[in-house]
Amino acid sequence: MLLFLVKYPPIVSTMVCDAGGLSAPSSAPPWAGPVLAAEILYKHDLEVEAVIPALIASIIGYSVFGAWSGWNPIFVTHGSLAFTSPPQLLYYVVLGLLCGLIGLLYARGFYGITHRFHRLRLPKWVKPGIGGLLVGLIGLVLPQALGMGYGWVQVSMGPGLLSLPLWVILALPFAKILTTGLSIGSGASGGIFGPGMVIGAMVGASVWRLCYHVLPGVPDTPGPFVIVGMMALFGGIAHAPLAVMLMVAEMTGNLSMLAPAMIAVGISSIVVGDATIYTSQVPSRADSPAHRLQLSFPLLSTLAVRQAMTPSPLQLSPQHTVGGACVLDARGNLLGVLTLADSGRVPLGERGSRRVEGAMNRDVLAIQPDDTLDVALEQLTSHRIGWMPVVEVETATGGRHLIGRISTQEIVRAYREALAKGSRRMRGLVESTVMLEAEIEPGMRLAGRPLREAQLPTESLVVSIRRQNELLFPRGSTVIEPDDLVTFLVSPSGEERLRAYLAERVERTEPILLH
């Protein structure tokens, strides 16, 4: 597990813990937690990197909880709930529409009450007291609105629903929205997932109670409507339809209602639109702080640090800004960095005698030449530094041999140069290789020559040629024509030689061969 926490960013580690905890109470294999970890962060996207570590955490949490508390599901369903009547889908369409509308009311009502409490100019310890008093008054009229509410969900799944007054069933979803907003919005502790499940369940129970013995084809038991109501309401307003469908199926130990649930959850999601119960939920990975840099500049993920770095030893020009210098041992290995801030912390009277090793910073952030520029830029911006050393790590000794430095200015320069070029770098299909895509222009050494006469640099291979709408597989006799899009496979060490080869222009004395 520690390997995943090291490999993935902290935000994924947090989701891993949540996935394990959420999956623990279910009795079926805990698939919902990993899916929730991937879905819940975004309105219209998935955090794919979270699935594998979340799956491991989910299994562990499920096993520990089951060993301690047993393996029974939270809710027990009555009888067979298999979906066998396609005309019933019309009822689930109506249920999905109602769940979407009440889901919107849940989100707006909850945050509306929360904002009103925030505007009250009262001590913070007074506000939960006011919220608790109002919740208690509601409980005197409607006791079913108090507490978690899972017990009433269980009652509503079976014949016990008929024993409840109709006004209680109809009022309970709205009362639950009110009590949740008053308790949590006033500053008390609690969550919005459990109440969301109860609200959705009671919406489904209300639809069944109003339709039973009135409309044809209504199921004999309210269980299907209650289960689908839970899925549709919270799955829509939380923008986690897949996870909530799986989670409710696990909580009830019943997978047979997934087919009508897809209809209801889909309609609920359409009704909800971009509204969400989670205010921190962003539209997509491109809007997330964890991915914004990479997805805003996708070209940076195809460029290597060695393409932008300043080689070592440094040669300063009048345009350079001096932010610090690297400190090396006799073998050229990085020991630390001495910046102007480090020098400024040395008292004036000691600057003539203080050695560099006593003033330098030994905790140095460094990067390797084959790392991509999006990683480098993220490191620089997250640590709020302007530059960092580029090192090659020696496997035998573990030493970090300095080969250059990289700064934000150099990254921007490399990005602009790459945009202006006709070549595009991609990760290779084989480990330790790079794929380079280039459009052939007149005057290039390749243009108009058979591949056998092209004199490509060593460790370079042409793997495909796209000519208009035709894909060609290269042979020695294949002639490269201007406007061809050629894909090369090259080793990282030979990439610069290939780029230099493609940048060369020659004057032709013989005619260009065209086929």
CA distance 18 to 318: 53
156: nearest Cα among 204, 196, 197, 192: 204
Nearest to 300 by CA among 411, 199, 159, 173: 411
How far apart, in whole angstroms, are the C-alpha atoms of residue 92 and residue 85? 12
Residue pLDDT, tens place only, 71-109: 777 777 766 677 778 888 999 999 999 999 999 999 999
Count the neighbouring beta carbons within 10 Å of the beta carbon of residue 26: 26
Nearest to 234, CA basis, from 245, 224, 223: 245
160 is written with which tokens?
């016990």
Residue 366: count of CB within 10 angstroms of its CB: 17
Degrees to nearest 5, angle at CA 395 with 394 and 396? 95
Return the amino acid letter for 377.
L
pLDDT > 90? residue 191: no
pLDDT score for 6: 41
Which domains, ranges and CATH numbers included, belong to the chain?
A: 2-69 (no CATH), 86-284 (1.10.3080.10), 297-414 (3.10.580.10), 422-503 (3.30.70.1450)
Between CA 326 and CA 413 the distance in angstroms is 22
Structure tokens at 198: 């109860």
The pLDDT of residue 80: 67
The per-residue pLDDT for range 464-501, each reduced to its tens digit, is 888 877 878 788 888 888 888 888 888 877 888 888 89
Q: Across the chain, what does the average pLDDT equal?
A: 81
Q: Decide if 12 contacts 50 (C-beta within 8 A).
A: yes
Half-sphere exposure of 393 (CA within 13 A, CB side): 7
Structure token pair of residue 129: 């007291």
Query: How far is the CA of 477 from the CAs of 297, 343, 453, 474, in angstroms?
Result: 39, 63, 9, 8
Quickly tell me which residue has 């359409």 as its tokens: 270
Q: What is the mean pLDDT of residues 257-273?
A: 91
Is the separation of the CB atoms in 212 and 161 below 8 Å? no
Asked if pLDDT for residue 383 goes beyond 50, the answer is yes
* Of 164, 233, 162, 178, nearest in space to 204 by CA: 233
> What is the rounded CA–CA span in Å between residue 280 and residue 105?
18
Could you tell me how far CA 41 lies from the centroid of its own chain? 6
pLDDT at 194 over 50: yes
Average the pLDDT over each of 97-106, 123-132, 190-199, 409-418 and give the range with the smallest value: 409-418
Mutual angle of helices 89-119 and 166-185, in 10-degree steps: 40
User: Helix 193-211 to helix 166-185 angle, to the nearest 10 degrees?
Assistant: 170
Q: Copy the structure tokens of residue 457.
A: 């640099």
In sequence order, the 6+-apart residues with CB closer than 8 A to the CB of 482 are 440, 441, 442, 444, 447, 448, 512
Task: Please tell me the pTM assigned to this model.
Answer: 0.63
Higher per-residue confidence, 186 vs 430: 186
Q: What is the mean pLDDT of residues 451-463?
A: 85
Q: Which of 223-232, 371-380, 490-499 has the highest mean pLDDT?
A: 223-232
Neighbouring C-beta atoms of residue 464, cutoff 10 Å: 15
| Cα-Cα end-to-end distance for the chain | 57
What gap in Å lies between CA 422 and CA 437, rounded to an integer? 8
290-322 pLDDT, tens digit each: 665 556 556 677 788 888 888 865 544 444 445
The pLDDT value recorded for residue 91 is 93
Please tell me the predicted confidence (pLDDT) of residue 14: 59
CA dist 94 and 495 (Å) reads: 60
Q: Which amino acid is at 17?
A: C
Residue 495: CB atoms within 10 A of its CB come to: 22
pLDDT value at residue 27: 44
